[in-house]
């Protein structure tokens, strides 16, 4: 069985959906066996505790300029890394240890509205301010640049003239929750 690590920085709604899909759903392909977080007290830590999944709270300097916590991931038998609202740039050390085995979800249709500082509400504010007609999600491989790796999947939704950043965020969350677990499973099957 493939062992997944989910990296998250916030409330953990995507992490919860991924855990539900793999740990309590019908999937026998993989399971979430570790939740990694960079913020003590983040909601995702409670999501993990509620599901009985071990957690690892990481420190910035070691993650970015040290060993990237690769020894801990390897000790847990982690085969694949899923970023679910994780706000730090992934260091080369971790990318090299898991080539094409780290994926991220971005709350916009890349390559638009990506890059440093473009996350969460900032993305939705920019999309609404630009009067875009559509937005969506992009699931992509992680490389050494923000929001840059090869696209795996995109789904879109209309941006209505009445949409606010908050209402758009709700539409995007629905797309994330609907597609991310399924796309991860499909990707794992394809990778064999």
The residues facing 4 across adjacent strands are: 32, 80
Per-residue pLDDT of the chain (192 residues; tens, 9 = 90+): 999 999 999 999 999 999 999 998 777 899 999 999 999 999 999 999 999 999 999 999 999 999 999 999 999 999 999 999 999 999 999 999 999 999 999 999 999 999 989 999 999 999 999 999 999 999 999 999 889 999 999 999 999 999 999 999 999 999 999 999 999 999 999 987
Q: Is 60 annotated as a binding residue?
A: yes
Q: So what's the pLDDT on residue 176?
A: 97
Tokens 């995507």 belong to which residue? 14
> Each residue of 70-92: b (16+ CB within 10 Å) or e?
beebeeeebbbbbbbbbeeebbe
Domains and CATH numbers, the chain: 2-105+139-151+176-191 (3.40.50.170)
Helix (H, G, I), strand (E, B) or coil at 31: strand
Q: Please identify every residue annotated as catalytic.
A: 106
Please list the alpha-helical segments (H only) found in the chain: 13-23, 43-50, 60-65, 70-75, 92-97, 120-129, 165-191
pLDDT digits (tens, 9 = 90+) for 34-59: 999 999 999 999 999 999 999 999 99
The residues facing 2 across adjacent strands are: 30
Q: Is 182 annotated as a binding residue?
A: no
Q: What is the pTM of this model?
A: 0.96
Q: Is 104 annotated as a binding residue?
A: yes
Q: Is 13 annotated as a binding residue?
A: yes
Q: So what's the pLDDT on residue 143?
A: 94
179-to-125, 157, 182 alpha-carbon distances in Å: 23, 13, 5
Q: Directed axis angle between helix 120-129 and helix 165-191, to 10°? A: 120
Q: Is 33 annotated as a binding residue?
A: no
- The rounded distance, in Å, linking the Cα atoms of 13 and 36 is 14
Q: So what's the pLDDT on residue 26?
A: 74
Q: So what's the pLDDT on residue 104?
A: 97
């Amino acid at each position: 069985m493939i062992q997944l690590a989910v990296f998250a920085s916030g409330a953990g709604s995507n992490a919860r959906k991924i855990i539900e899909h793999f740990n309590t759903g019908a999937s026998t392909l993989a399971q979430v066996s570790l939740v990694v977080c960079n913020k003590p007290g983040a909601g995702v830590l409670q999501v993990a505790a509620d599901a009985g999944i071990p957690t690892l709270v990481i420190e910035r300097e070691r993650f970015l300029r040290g060993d990237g916590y690769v020894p801990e991931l390897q000790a847990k038998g982690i085969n694949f890394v899923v970023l679910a609202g994780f706000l730090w740039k992934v260091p080369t050390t971790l990318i090299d240890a898991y080539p094409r085995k780290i994926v991220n979800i971005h709350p916009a249709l890349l390559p638009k509205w990506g890059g440093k500082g473009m996350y969460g509400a900032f993305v939705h504010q920019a999309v609404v301010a630009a009067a875009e007609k559509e937005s969506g999600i992009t699931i992509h491989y992680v490389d050494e640049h923000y929001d840059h790796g090869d696209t795996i999947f995109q789904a879109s939704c209309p941006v209505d003239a009445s949409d606010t950043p908050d209402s758009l965020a709700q539409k995007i969350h629905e797309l994330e929750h609907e597609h991310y677990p399924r796309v991860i499973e499909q990707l794992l099957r394809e990778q064999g």
